[in-house]
Chains A and B, each alone.
Chain A
Amino acid sequence: MSKSETALPEQAVVPNANKRAGRAVDPHKRSLLRQYLDNKYLVLLLLPGLIYFIIFKYVPMYGLLMSFQDYSVKLGVWGSEWVGLKHFEFLLTDPNFLMVLKNTIWISFLKILFGFPAPIILALIMNEIRAEKFKRLTQTLTYLPHFFSWVLIGGLITTILSPSTGIVNAIIKLFGGEPIYFLADKNWFVPILVITDIWKELGWGSIVYMAALAGLDSQVYEAAIMDGAGRWKQMLHITLPGIMPTVAVMLILRVGTVLDAGFDQIFNLYSPPVYDVSDIIDTYIYRMGLQNFKYSLSTAAGMFKSVIGLALVLLTNYLSNKFSGGEAGIW
């Protein structure tokens, strides 16, 4: 990547090439139209994608305008009545939406608090495994749940946690406890969300840290062993500081998506008894919009989420660029 960035800028190359060809065209004076015509095959390649992005990504953004309207399907965005910030005012004073907002942030916070360190710890543990075959086998197995949909994983979880036939309650009963209906219990539902999310993404999330660990200098370890440092000391003083930059960047990027509390997961696991603790912005948007047909209100909630999400992504990307000296970040 950096190699091609250091290549000569085009202005420096093109004039010479033209001179050699005996033409005296100053590229700065070439009209934009001329440039496009010179690259007509590239334009042809760009067009399908451009049209796709305009229709399927930018038209819906234009549709966000309906959050400032009382949208009617018959009149469309052009004809519907403008109502200003009415829907936003409603949302921010609606106890229901405030609860949804609180749930979203709380679930996300817990997922970051427990779910973020988990793959780091797993990577550190796997790094201590010397038997290559065993290591590869454990990696293959722990990556596996990442490749299944939350519909399937939701089904697995429902079976495992079933109060009558599930294995978890069988173990509880074995030790003389009372069976717990985990998925319908307000106190248990959020911890279950956090635990199952970790279970699904733990192995996959460790890949990036395994790569960072593989990049650490083995000579430093050899020197430490000469100095008599044990495995624990090596991990504490060499391994951990070595992967810290990766950890920091991953954390910053993760915080940028704090309003995504996991729609796929919750939508496949929740039920009315636990709505109070598990209703998040995305499930609220779905129910308001596609079940109650309050398009404008629902879109306002979506807009609220998108705008805060954008601000967070911009902020966190700025921070991660700053932190890593421009090495990391999405762009």
Chain B
Amino acid sequence: MKIKQSIGSRIATFVIYLFMILLCITTVYPFWQTLILSISSRAEAMGTGFHLWTTQPDFSAWLKIFESPVIVRACINTVIRTVGGTAFGMFISVTMAYPLAKKKFPNRKFYTALVIFTMMFNGGMIPTYILVKNLHLMDTLWALILPSAVSPFNLIIIKNFFTSIPESLEETAKIDGANDIYILWKVVLPLSMPVLATVTLWLMVGQWNSWFDAVMYTSDRSNMVLQLFLREIVITQTAMSDPTMMTNQANVVQPATESIQSAAMMFVTIPILIVYPFLQKYFAKGVMVGAIKG
């Protein structure tokens, strides 16, 4: 802008930048401190206050995490539930969204209402728990994958996107005698990549971060997922004294509890931190996709 800024405007600019920098610091600092704490020596980690840097890097807390008897199992299970839950959720969402987007499909308003109603009303915690029990899914990874796999909200977003694709694009394939499943696969899905990418990312983050279903439905250590592992180290602090969670060597100097907790937090955070900068714009774009009325 060519217009010369007044003094007041300059002060405003200064205050705005200062505020934003402070806000970013408060957002980043907790993560930075956690990283530093996880590689601090016992004496440093126990010290009060600012943990901006460490002069005596010590990776024993990380070793302790990696030595845990359940960590490999927890990683594998988390990947299984994330990939399996996302794949299953996307399959159900896409296949169901397509008929609901077709004007010619009989009673489609009824089926759409059936989906939308579950966004507003649900059976809640206990009836779902009893369902999982009755299906004999208790203490299996299926209990983590199936009940939460499909989000009606995401299904409707996909449906809305399908509806917005001009019918004429599908006509050519139809004249060639292709059936609806073929058209969905070959014509509609390639055109829907932006929305499918966004919803896939949402589902993956949701599965990765999901922890309460693990609290409710699993108890055996062989079904441990990372969020539950983290929870038992950081929140309930039951892991430290539990030999099935942590190796306990009495004769070695132990890293500080804070360091172990920090290492566990960083371990679970890092995968998201790595992909986040590259995928951030897709996440944000999805919010606007969702804002379109169906």
Query: Contacting B127 at CB < 8 Å: which of A61, A122, A167, A307?
Result: A61
CB distance from A258 to the nearest CB of B (A): 14
A interface majority secondary structure: helix
Once the chains bind, are A10 and B126 in contact (CB under 8 Å)? no
The answer for the CA separation of A58 and B147 in the assembled complex, in Å, is 12
- B170 near A: Cβ within 8 Å? no
Residues from chain B with Cβ under 8 Å of A15 in the complex = none
Are A149 and B227 CB-contacts (below 8 A) given A45-B98, A45-B181, A128-B12? yes
Most buried by B among A57, A122, A268, A327: A57
Contact digits for A85-117, partner B, Cβ 8 Å, 1 yes 0 no: 000000000000000000000000000000000
Residues from chain A with Cβ under 8 Å of B149 in the complex = 52
With both beta carbons as reference points, the residue of chain A lying nearest to B113 in the complex is identified as A331
Once the chains bind, are B131 and A158 in contact (CB under 8 Å)? no
- B53 near A: Cβ within 8 Å? no
Give the contacts of B61-114 with A (CB-CB under 8 A). 91-93, 95-96, 98-100, 102-107, 111, 114
The answer for the CA separation of A50 and B103 in the assembled complex, in Å, is 18
- B47 near A: Cβ within 8 Å? yes
CB distance from A110 to the nearest CB of B (A): 20
The answer for the CA separation of A63 and B287 in the assembled complex, in Å, is 33
- A56 near B: Cβ within 8 Å? yes
CB distance from B124 to the nearest CB of A (A): 3
Are A154 and B234 CB-contacts (below 8 A) given A39-B104, A56-B147, A231-B12? yes
Once the chains bind, are B48 and A151 in contact (CB under 8 Å)? no
Are A52 and B121 CB-contacts (below 8 A) given A138-B23, A230-B9? no
Are A208 and B123 CB-contacts (below 8 A) given A42-B98, A138-B20, A165-B47? no
Are A203 and B211 CB-contacts (below 8 A) given A41-B180, A46-B95, A59-B131? no
With both beta carbons as reference points, the residue of chain B lying nearest to A35 in the complex is identified as B106
Once the chains bind, are B163 and A148 in contact (CB under 8 Å)? no
- A175 near B: Cβ within 8 Å? no
CB distance from B206 to the nearest CB of A (A): 10
Query: Contacting A129 at CB < 8 Å: which of B16, B50, B152, B181?
Result: B16
Once the chains bind, are A330 and B95 in contact (CB under 8 Å)? no
Once the chains bind, are A50 and B111 in contact (CB under 8 Å)? yes
CB distance from B132 to the nearest CB of A (A): 9
Once the chains bind, are A42 and B180 in contact (CB under 8 Å)? yes
Query: Contacting B95 at CB < 8 Å: which of A32, A45, A231?
Result: A45
Once the chains bind, are A331 and B99 in contact (CB under 8 Å)? no
Once the chains bind, are A63 and B123 in contact (CB under 8 Å)? yes
- A160 near B: Cβ within 8 Å? yes
Are A1 and B292 CB-contacts (below 8 A) given A46-B99, A155-B261? yes
Once the chains bind, are A149 and B211 in contact (CB under 8 Å)? yes
Instruction: Apart from A59-B127, A156-B31, list 19 A-B contacts with CB within 8 A.
Output: A39-B99, A42-B180, A46-B100, A53-B96, A57-B123, A60-B123, A60-B124, A63-B123, A63-B126, A66-B126, A128-B13, A141-B24, A141-B28, A151-B234, A154-B234, A155-B234, A167-B49, A170-B48, A207-B288
A sample of 14 inter-chain contacts (CB < 8 A) reads A4-B167, A46-B100, A48-B92, A49-B95, A63-B131, A144-B276, A149-B209, A152-B234, A165-B49, A211-B288, A285-B126, A299-B127, A307-B121, A330-B116
Which of B's residues lie within 8 Å of A, judged by CB?
Answer: 1, 3, 6, 8-9, 12-13, 16-17, 19-20, 23-24, 26-31, 33-34, 37, 45-51, 91-93, 95-96, 98-100, 102-107, 111, 114-116, 118-131, 135, 146-147, 149-150, 152, 155, 160, 163-164, 166-167, 179-181, 184, 205, 209-212, 216, 227, 230-231, 234-235, 258, 261-262, 265, 268-269, 272, 276-277, 280, 283-284, 287-288, 291-294
Q: Which 4 A-B pairs have the closest CB atoms?
A: A60-B123, A49-B96, A63-B127, A170-B49
